[in-house]
Amino acid sequence: MFEQYLITPRDAYAGYMLGKTMFVDVREMNEAAEEMPALKNIVHIPFSELESRVSELPADKPVVLFSWVGSRSHTAARILSQKGFEVFEVDGGVQAWKEEGLPLERH
């Protein structure tokens, strides 16, 4: 059974600062090209490629997922959870991250 783990953008950023999580942006290429959270270890795996690239994710670390507002990351979380990953979703996605004033990069 899938359990949804939502975390706030600020809690996600705190986890990043502690180095305890891997961040994955699941937006498609054209969306992620605009703005992305300014995190050194963020990985961009478009949702459409997630299942074929799951081997790139660590099994020993929680994975924190981003999408624009959270709907795609929810579906991605379900997929990864079923594969045994510990998964968290940033509540409100990149949009909420931006509204919180957390660091962003423009591409």
The residue among 33, 6, 14, 56 whose CA lies nearest residue 105 is: 33
- pTM, two decimals, is 0.87
Over the stretch 23-76, which tens digit does the pLDDT of each residue have? 999 989 887 667 777 777 788 999 999 999 999 999 899 999 988 887 899 999
Q: pLDDT value at position 4?
A: 64
Give residues with Cβ within 8 angstroms of 75, minimum separation 6.
47
Left if phi > 0, otherwise alpha if psi is -120 to 50, otherwise beta: which for 55? alpha
